[in-house]
Structure formats: structure tokens, C-alpha cells
Structure 1
Amino acid sequence: MRIPAQELEFDPDDRASILHTIGGLLEAGRISGGHNVERFEEEFSAYVGARHAVAVASGTTALELIMLAVGVRNRTVLVPANTNFATYIAAHRAGARVRLLDVAPETLAPRLRDITAAADADTAAVVLVHMGGLISPETAGIAAWCRERGIALVEDAAHAHGSVRDNQHAGTFGIGGAFSFFATKVMTCGEGGMVTTNDDTLAAEIRILRNLGKTEPWVSKHDRLGTNGRMTELSAVVGRHQLTRLDEYVALRRHWAEGYAKLLGAAPGMRLVRSGHPYSGYKAIGYLRPGLDRADFKREVARAGVQLAGEVYEIPLHKQPALLDMHAGEVFPGAEMSCGRQVCLPIYPTLGEDRLERVAAAVADVLAAGAADEC
């Protein structure tokens, strides 16, 4: 039996509860924003310890609305070069000029020194991306530096549901955090997102912007150049159920990550990235040694019945075809190393001890064969 890279499972009790609630909504004809969206916001804000949570259509929408609300148009936003295209395009669509940052491979995040070197008087915002659920140990220091200079710190927390560093949840370090509920994420409602913030003004502005810029929700008078970024009641129902299971999901993911560390910590040819804090367990990331071909490695592991998860991410932004002209000649060694040498092991709540051991054995065997070939 093959071990998949990703597995999403709703247990029978969850399915029954979700279907019962959705059935009531369909019977009543209430499927747009309403009670469940509002309750989801309240429950999520309480979970992360933020004053506000605003439900939106996607994680990308969450990022773009934060950018619009803080006012980045015709100014510079600093974005890590190793992140998802969505992080970049959200700032770009909000009217910003995007400047890329290099990252430290051990944290997959920019260092404060990278940010201070790139920032200038035109810088409106810095985006920190909690890659794989990892919160950089420099996050609090970066947040303080940004506050002192009136620069908005935006957290892309798409991978970081349940990630905590120094007793502080992802999404609460900066002015706003953007979470994704896409199908592959730690918790999901298929599509959807959430903005978290302790700033009353920002929360109010995002509520207006997500509803096509209307200050009166049901009146067709548009005071802002907003967008349709609303979450449906149906998505909120699924999201609320997922939130009740989030601590369980995260505990299992962390358990499997620790299992990989024990079984593969001494394996030749690969170095596992350790979180150093309670993280979401979204990804179990390893760096292959220089010279070990990733495509060959993944192919050999697949022959043993293990599908490795997609990298986070395999192509840095300055090498994305759509962005080549805007970043011609730019070089980011840390981001290029991180994107080029990483592999991600299967990690999800339903993985189980047997499959964990089979994955580790397959990876160790391929690595050992590669080490032997060098001799």
C-alpha cells in the first residue's frame, strides 16, 4: 500500500454534525454570511488570543485586505523570496512595489539584519511568513523594530494554526495575521481565510473592504475600492468543527515530527529542520546534502511506496516565470538553497506509527544507498 503525501479525513461524528448543521442552513435558505461566520470569528480570535478575527474568502484575500487596509499603494513591501506566489501577488494587487528578502535556511525566514538592510523611508510593510508552521526566533525583535519605525508587520500564518513561540500565537505579533483554510492546511474548510488583529481600526476597515467597500453591509453604497472577500456560512460551519479539533490535529502532527527526528536524526545525507518551539506541524522539512539530486531521491522513495509532500516552495519568487522581468539579476542564496534542497515528509493527523516507520525506513534506505554510491 502506498503512503500518500497528504490525507484529509473527517471522522463519522464530524461528518454527521457538519451535515446536520448545513442541512438546517439549506432548509432555512441561509448560506451567506451570518451566525456561523460570526461565531467562527469569535472562536478563532479567542483561540489565537487576538482581539479580532475577520473571516474572508481565502488566505490570499486575507493578505491583500491587510495590505489595502494599512495603505501600501505606491510604497514598498518587503517579502521573503522563498514564499508562495500568493504572498507576493497580494502585496502587488494592493498597489505595492515588492522588494524581496533573503532568508536563513534554518528558519526559512528573513533575519532582522536582512530586513534592516532592505528597508528605507518608502517601506510600508514587512511580511513574515511562518513557513511550515515555524515562527522565527527573531519574530518578536522584528515586530519591535517595525513598531518603532511605523512599519506594518504582516504575518503570513497560512501554515501556522496552533504555532506558538514564547507563549504567543502566530498571527498576533504584527498588526495583522493572515490564515488560510485551504484543503491542505492544518485545519480546513476547503477554501477560506481569517485575518487576526489587535487593532480595532484595522479590523473595522477589513470588514468594509471584504464587502466591496460598503460601510453599510446591505446598502449598495460603496465608500472604498473593496472586493468580494466574504466567507460563506457553509465554509464557516466546516471551519468551526475543524477548530474544535485543532489542538488534537496539531498534537498529532508534532508527535509525527518528533518521530521523524528520532528515526532520521542521524541519517546520512539529510538534515531535518527542527522547530525549537511548539509549532503547527504543517510540514516536516529536511535538507538534502549538496549534490544529492532531489528528483532522483523522490523517485527512489516513491519506488518504496512513499509519496513525499510538495516542497515549501521549490521555486523562489525571483525565478517564477511571471516575476522574472521584475526581478532580473537578483540573487538570494539562502532562499535558493532552501527552495532547491528541501524535501517534505508525509505528515498529517492520520499518519500513524506504522506508516511513520515505513516512511522513515524508505528515506533512510535511499539516503544510505546514496552515501554508499559516493564511496
Structure 2
Amino acid sequence: MIPVNQPLLDGNEKKYLLECIDTGWISSEGPFVKQFEDGFAARVRRRHGVAVCNGTAALDAAIEALGIGPGDEVILPTFTIISCIIQIVRAGATPVLVDSDPATWNMDTDQIEAKISSRTKAIMVVHTYGLPVDMDPVLDIARRYGLRVIEDAAEMHGQTYKGRPCGSFGDVSTFSFYPNKHVTTGEGGMVLVDDDSLADDCRSLRNLCFQPHKRFVHERLGWNLRMTNMQAALGLAQLERLDEFVARKRHIGARYSAGLADLPSARLPLAGTHYADNIYWVFGLVIDEEKGMDAEDVMKRLASEGVGTRPFFCPMHQQPVLRRMGLFENDRHPVAELMYRQGFYLPSGMALSDGDIDRTIEAVWKVLG
């Protein structure tokens, strides 16, 4: 079976991990945490990086630090992972959804302004699968209406928008370091900000809101979201190779694109826009409905050919847990619904060989061609 993802861990990962063990610095107090925070923040051109235990935790801390709560509304894409909406709902705020752009698979920025109300506090942009959201319209709307911008750049390590790093646009931006990301720490995430007070707030929230002079006296509820020194050691070794990893991903995307260019029954990822070239975090396909198969059918057939796959995101307005809360009863977002029904992605991991790519292309042609 060709796996959907397999990370590359053949740089300085082992060396740095052994240093953690040899020195005994294995907790969040170790020196690699600060080195990783500073290095990653510099790469994204941010003043502050706050390392946390995963990408969901980064979003949780970001939403809490911005003071989003009951009575507030947050506009975000329906086509995203559920991590983006969890803390909005738990904080008592109301998520307001927009549909996807069928070309880029990102949120349709033309729909945002119509969703703004007197209660809107923030826009959450989520860069999806390989191309960034068109940020200029979002930032213009945010300025005109006085809204905060939360930028989920979990899948955009090394990607840029008009030459500027993804992760540098939001009032608060977040990353994930799950094993399928360009930079992995196994599990891990990071909050990135320029504002000193927001950075301090996020650091406090990740560390149970301990106080400097009265450690076990708490004025606020936080979380234990700390990243360990061992995770940060992995991340630092991975960060050293980010440019190499970006080039590798684009090679994978180009090879798939060439091999599947004439496939008659599926839409391939857009190679680029006027503001960015695709980074191909994953290589997705959207099956034409006229083919008479949905994504689930195709994925089962590819599995029988020894090719691992993953489905596209289930839209937020179709999530059973959210519908049971009374959310999104009348929402219809046809582009996202189609992408979920007909979309999936092929093996896209960093360790994928050209032979694996070619075998996958052959299997896709066998199933769909």
C-alpha cells in the first residue's frame, strides 16, 4: 500500500533528540522550544511565535486571546477541518459560514461582506490544500469594518501570497506540525503574532495562566498546551529543510499534474493564480458527477490497487455534532457540498518516491480513465 503520508526524518532530527535525552531537557522548559519559536517566527516574518501542543490548540488560544465570546460572530469557510470551529462554539460565539471558490477550493471571498452584521468580530481565513486565500479583499473588508483576522496557515509552510509569507497576515496566525505537514513535530502547533500583549496572553493561556509571582493563584482559566523540548527539537531540524521540502512538494504536484493532465473525469488542483503558485500540500481530485461515482467509490477502488487516499473535508454545515446544536439548519453551500461528495486526495507525503507517484497515476487511470 502506498501511504497517504510519510514524513522525511533523515536530517538532524536524531541528533537533536539525542541532545534532549543526554541533557535531560525533555519537557517544555528545554532550550529547543525557544529556538524553534524564534526560527519559525523569523521565517514567517513575525515578531512572536508561541509553540503549543497541536494546531487545534493554536486556534483555541488565538480565539481566546482575541476575546471572542458570547454575542460575537466569526465568519469562516464551511469547507475546513472542525478544529477551526470548536473554540468559536465553546466560547459561546456564533460561526457564520461561507462557501468555497470552485477553482482554488478556498473560501469565496466575494461572499464575506454580505455575511457581516453588527455582531461580527472576526474573519477566519483557512488556506486550503495548496493555494492561499486571496488575502487583499479579506484585509480590505477587515479594515473597513474594524474586524480581526485569524489566519489558519496550518497547511501553508513555506507558501507565500504575492511574495509575503502565509502566516504573516492575521492579527493572529496559526500553524500545525502534524506529521503530514511540511514541518512536523509529531504533534504540535504555533501561534504567531506581532502584538506584544497578544503574545503574552497566548503564552499565559498555554501554561494554565500561572502568574509570575503567585504561581498557583489563578485569575483566569487557561490550558496546558505546552510543546515539549523533544517536539521542538524535531521541528527545528525540519525547519532547516523547509525550502527543500517545498521544492519536493512542488515536484510531486508537477509529476501528478503531468501524468493526469488528460484524465477526462476529474478536476485537478489549480497550478497557480495571479498571487501564488500551488504548493501542493496534498494533491486532490474532484470527480465529475457524470462519471457515476463519488469519492468514496473511487477511494475504495484505489485501495484495492494498493493506493492510500483521504477524503476531502466534510463541510461544517453538514457536521452532525453541529447540526444537533441547532446550527446551520438552513445553510446550503453547494460548492463545498460537491467537493466533499466528489473530492479526495492522493498520496502526497514528503517521502513519496517518483515510482510511487507513477504507480498511483497508473491506478487512477485504471479506475477513472
User: What TM-score, normalized by structure 2, do the two folds share?
Assistant: 0.92
Q: Which residue of structure 2 aligns with residue 332 of structure 1?
A: 333
Is the counterpart of residue 54 in structure 1 residue 61 in structure 2? no
Matches within 5 A, 1:18-57: 18-26=16-24, 31-57=27-53
- CA distance, structure 2, for counterparts of residue 163 and residue 102 of structure 1: 23
Q: CA deviation at 1:199?
A: 2.1
8 Å CA contact 2:102, 2:335 repeated in 1: yes
Structure 1 unaligned blocks of 5 or more: 369-375
Q: CA deviation at 1:279?
A: 4.3
Q: In the TM superposition, what are the counterparts of 1:123-162 in structure 2 within 5 Å?
A: 123-136=120-133, 138-162=134-158
Question: 1:220 offset after TM fit, Å?
Answer: 2.1
Question: Secondary structure, in 3 states, of the residue corresponding to 2:256?
Answer: helix
Q: Is the 8 A contact 2:13 2:237 kept in 1?
A: no
Structure-to-structure mapping, 1:263-302, within 5 angstroms: 263-276=259-272, 277-290=276-289, 291-302=292-303
Distance 2:213 2:303 in 1: 51
Alignment correspondent of 1:312: 312
Q: Is 250-259 or 86-95 further displaced after alignment?
A: 86-95
Alignment of 1:180-219 (within 5 A): 180-216=176-212, 219=215
Name the counterpart of 2:366.
Answer: 365
Higher mean alpha-carbon deviation, 182-191 vs 118-127, is at 182-191
Within the candidate set 8, 14, 17, 1:16 is matched to 14
Shift, 1:30, TM fit: 5.1
Structure 2 Cα separation of the partners of residues 30 and 352 of structure 1: 33
* Separation (CA, whole Å) in 1 of partners of 2:229 and 2:53: 11
Structure 2 counterpart of 1:87: 84
Equivalent AA in structure 1 for residue 164 of structure 2: Q
**SS at 2:231's partner residue?**
helix
Deviates more, 1:229-238 or 1:37-46: 229-238
Mark the CA change 1:267 to 1:30 in structure 2 (over 3 Å): closer, same or farther: closer
Aligned-pair distance for 1:140? Answer: 2.1
Name the SS of the counterpart of 1:349 in structure 2.
coil
Q: Is the 8 A contact 2:26 2:228 kept in 1?
A: no
Select the structure that is richer in helix.
Answer: 1
What is the alpha-carbon distance in structure 1 between the residues aligned to residue 13 and residue 237 of structure 2?
9
- Please report the RMSD computed on the Cα atoms of aligned residues, expressed in angstroms: 1.8
3-state DSSP of counterpart to 2:122 = strand
1:25–1:31 CA contact under 8 A, matched in 2: no
Under a length normalisation based on structure 1, what TM-score does the superposition of the two structures give? 0.91
Q: Distance in 2 between matches of 1:280 and 1:228?
A: 33
CA distance in 2, matches of 1:209, 1:16: 31
**SS at 1:20 equivalent:** helix
Structure 1: which amino acid aligns with 2:210?
K
Residues 6 and 64 of structure 1: CA distance in aligned 2, closer, same or farther (over 3 Å): same
Q: Please say if residues 4 and 307 of structure 1, whose CA atoms lie closer than 8 Å, have aligned partners that are also in contact.
A: yes
Question: Residue by residue, what CA displacement relative to the aligned partner does 1:212-234 show, whole Å, maximum 9, x if unpaired?
Answer: 22342872232332221221112
Whichever residue aligns with residue 221 of structure 1, its letter is V
Structure-1 separation of matches of 2:31 and 2:239 = 16
Residue 373 of structure 1 corresponds to: none
Alignment-mate amino acid for residue 201 of structure 1: S
In the alignment, structure 1 residue 76 sits paired with structure 2 residue 73: yes
CA contact (8 A) 2:180 2:349 kept: no
Distance change in 2, residues 1:218/1:245 (3 Å): farther
Q: Given the alignment, which residue of 161, 167, 177 partners 1:165?
A: 161
Q: How many residues align?
A: 361
What is aligned with 1:117? Answer: 114
Residue identity opposite 1:345 in structure 2: L
CA distance in structure 1 between the aligned counterparts of 2:110 and 2:68, rounded to whole angstroms? 22
**2:320 corresponds to:** 321
Specify the code of the residue in structure 2 equivalent to 1:18.
Y
1:36 positional shift: 1.2
Identical-residue share of aligned pairs (%): 34
* Separation in structure 2 between the aligned mates of residue 16 and residue 341 of structure 1, nearest angstrom: 40
CA distance in 1, matches of 2:19, 2:159: 29
CA distance in 2, matches of 1:63, 1:331: 25
* Bigger mean CA deviation after superposition, 69-78 or 285-294: 285-294
1:113-157 deviation digits (Å, cap 9, x = unpaired):
211111111111111111113202x21221222123221111111
Paired residues of 1:77 and 1:124 also in contact (CA < 8 A) = yes
Which residue of structure 2 aligns with residue 240 of structure 1? 236
Aligned letter for 1:33? Answer: E
Specify whether residues 339 and 293 from structure 1 end up closer, same or farther in structure 2 by C-alpha distance, changes over 3 A only: closer
Moved over 6 A (4+): none
- Secondary structure of 1:327's aligned partner: coil
Does the 8 Å CA contact 1:58/1:193 hold for their aligned counterparts? Answer: yes
Contact residue 58 and residue 192 of structure 1 kept, 8 A: yes
1:177 matched to 2:178: no
User: How far apart, in 1, do the equivalents of 2:156 and 2:107 lie?
Assistant: 17
Q: Which 5+ residue runs of structure 2 have no aligned equivalent?
A: none
